[in-house]
Amino acid sequence: MINLFEVAETNEMIAKENLDVRTITLGISLLDCIDSDLAKVNERVYQKITTVAKDLVKTGEAIEKEFGIPIVNKRISVTPMAFVGGAACQSCEDFVTLAKTLDRAAKEVGVNLIGGYSALVSKGMTKADELLIRSIPEALHSTERVCSSVNLGSTKTGINMDAVRLMGDIIKETAVISKEQDSADCMKLVVFCNAPDDNPFMAGAFHGVTETDAVINVGVSGPGVVKTALQRVRGENFEVLCETIKKTAFKVTRVGQLVAQEASRMLNIPFGIVDLSLAPTPAVGDSVADILCEIGLEYAGAPGTTAALALLNDQVKKGGVMASSYVGGLSGAFIPVSEDQGMIDAVVAGALTIEKLEAMTCVCSVGLDMLAIPGDTPNTTIAGIIADEMAIGMVNQKTTAVRIIPAIGKGVGEKVEFGGLFGYAPVMPVNGFSCEAFVNRGGRIPAPIHSFKN
């Protein structure tokens, strides 16, 4: 039977170490909303979302009460809208109407973000894909809760460099259109290589076309819990360190599994996956960078950081995989800059550069996330940064992403403020040498040799 100390340990994690379930994300297929009449598509999309997700927020709140665990976000992901709107949308403006419908539906059911204003163009772009991509700046600027993602490459297909080049322009345009808000629209836009179909985390969540009609995916968190556990084993060897991370990850993930099963039961919607990520927030003590420091680094970014992060990421997975029946999504340590006070401190101290962050993305989930660069960075350089990150994902058969904020009107040393869970970010210096001739070549980079496994 459960004893007093185990109960106290769990409650301590919740009360003092920021243990929470970061998100319950309800994935909804909108493939049955497709029509050649735009008005009908908009109507069906709104009806479907507001019907399937009507009890999502209420259920999330009920589970919070039952188990005494905070569930920070309740969110929705939908089928990539380039598929849904493909037959009806003849212009960027047509796609923007779909974004507005998603926004209206999200507000109606009370979720704080809705993901899936997306296109999957890892090998080539259809006309609809391109229209959607070109509509992103306006779509994000005229909505509050819509998140957008574009898959630009994969290990199986290579990298669509035409789309990479285009996204360099689109990200800059998204920054310019929202320059009065510190280019904040860019927070809602992410590009991927090897994007997973079942990721519950924003801004990159979408409901893949291989998924069922509706599904519950849950993202857990808990950097603070891992850090506190590691404080107890200071000075011990790597074996002890790894065992401690593994056991802690197991406990954290079990909570996610429980919440996912309960939400699935209450909503009568199948359980998809638990994403066992260490997702930081700007709250003190809820930081992945602090874990790296606890492992033994002065700051995140110091020599040894990549090794420490590789170890952390691997142990989180090893502990988490046994704790859940289905693991998916991004699953690993997130290293966003603006959402992690320890990362911000490291940038300000001069310990962490974009190049080091890029190295770190080779060994953990996702990629260059929530970092601000000078507003006058050329579009081609943004495309070059994206291409590098896509190449890491393609060659290493992992998901990588770029969510970057060109801070319009700001330079190195200044900062951009996003507020809430998104935090703030110091503007980081970018390598000033040009890659223009490279990204302007056009076409695609072929799939790597190790993708031919047949």
Can you tell me the distance from the alpha carbon of 67 to that of 2, in angstroms, rounded to the nearest whole number?
15
- Does residue number 68 form part of the binding site for another protein (CB under 8 A)? yes
Binding piece for another protein, criterion CB under 8 A, among 9-17, 70-78, 216-224, 372-380: 9-17
Can you tell me which of 32, 66, 236, 298 binds another protein, judged by CB under 8 A? 66
- Does residue number 4 form part of the binding site for another protein (CB under 8 A)? yes
- 156 or 254: whose CB is closer to another protein? 254
Binding piece for another protein, criterion CB under 8 A, among 1-9, 29-37, 168-176, 353-361: 1-9
CA angle 330, 333, 337 (to 5 degrees): 105
| Site residues (CB under 8 A) for another protein, limited to 43-62 | 62
Binding piece for another protein, criterion CB under 8 A, among 7-15, 82-90, 288-296, 361-369: 7-15
CB of 46 to another protein, least distance (A): 30
CB of 322 to another protein, least distance (A): 8
- 159 or 255: whose CB is closer to another protein? 255
115 touches 202 (CB < 8 A): yes
CB of 265 to another protein, least distance (A): 12
Residue 196 sits at φ, ψ, to 5 deg, of -80, 150
- 62 or 242: whose CB is closer to another protein? 62
CA dihedral 242, 245, 246, 248 (to 10 degrees): 160
CB of 254 to another protein, least distance (A): 4
CB of 297 to another protein, least distance (A): 29
- Does residue number 2 form part of the binding site for another protein (CB under 8 A)? yes
- 76 or 323: whose CB is closer to another protein? 323
- 9 or 417: whose CB is closer to another protein? 9
CB of 259 to another protein, least distance (A): 9
- 7 or 39: whose CB is closer to another protein? 7
- Number of residues near another protein (by CB under 8 A): 21
| Site residues (CB under 8 A) for another protein, limited to 391-450 | none
CB of 66 to another protein, least distance (A): 5
Can you tell me which of 11, 51, 90, 440 binds another protein, judged by CB under 8 A? 11
CB of 257 to another protein, least distance (A): 7
- 157 or 257: whose CB is closer to another protein? 257
Two tokens, residue 124 = 């080539």
**Three-class SS string for the chain?**
CCCHHHHHHHHHHHHHCCCCEEEEEEEECCHHHCCCCHHHHHHHHHHHHHHHCCCHHHHHHHHHHHHCCCEEEEEEEECCHHHHCCCCCCCHHHHHHHHHHHHHHHHHHCCCCEEEEEEECCCCCCHHHHHHHHHHHHHHHCCCCEEEEEEEEECCCEEEHHHHHHHHHHHHHHHHHCHHHCCHHHHHEEEEECCCCCCCCCCCCCCCCCCCCEEEEEEECCHHHHHHHHHCCCCCCHHHHHHHHHHHHHHHHHHHHHHHHHHHHHHCCCEEEEECCECCCCCCCCCHHHHHHHHCCCCCCCCCHHHHHHHHHHHHHHHHHHHCCCECCCCCECCCCCCCHHHHHHHHHCCCCHHHHHHHCCCCCCCEEEEEEECCCCHHHHHHHHHHHHHHHHHHCCCEEEEEEEECCCCCCCEEECCHHHCEEEECCCCCCCCHHHHCCCCEECCCHHHCCC
418 touches 182 (CB < 8 A): yes
- Does residue number 3 form part of the binding site for another protein (CB under 8 A)? yes
- Does residue number 67 form part of the binding site for another protein (CB under 8 A)? yes
- 146 or 225: whose CB is closer to another protein? 225
Binding piece for another protein, criterion CB under 8 A, among 66-74, 144-152, 197-205, 369-377: 66-74
| Site residues (CB under 8 A) for another protein, limited to 100-139 | none
| Site residues (CB under 8 A) for another protein, limited to 247-286 | 251, 254-255, 257-258
- Does residue number 10 form part of the binding site for another protein (CB under 8 A)? yes
CB of 321 to another protein, least distance (A): 13
342 touches 290 (CB < 8 A): yes
Query: Which residue in 128, 124, 123 sits closest to 82, CA to CA?
Result: 128
- Does residue number 8 form part of the binding site for another protein (CB under 8 A)? yes
CB of 68 to another protein, least distance (A): 4
Q: Using CB under 8 A, list all residues that contact another protein.
A: 1-4, 6-11, 62, 65-69, 251, 254-255, 257-258
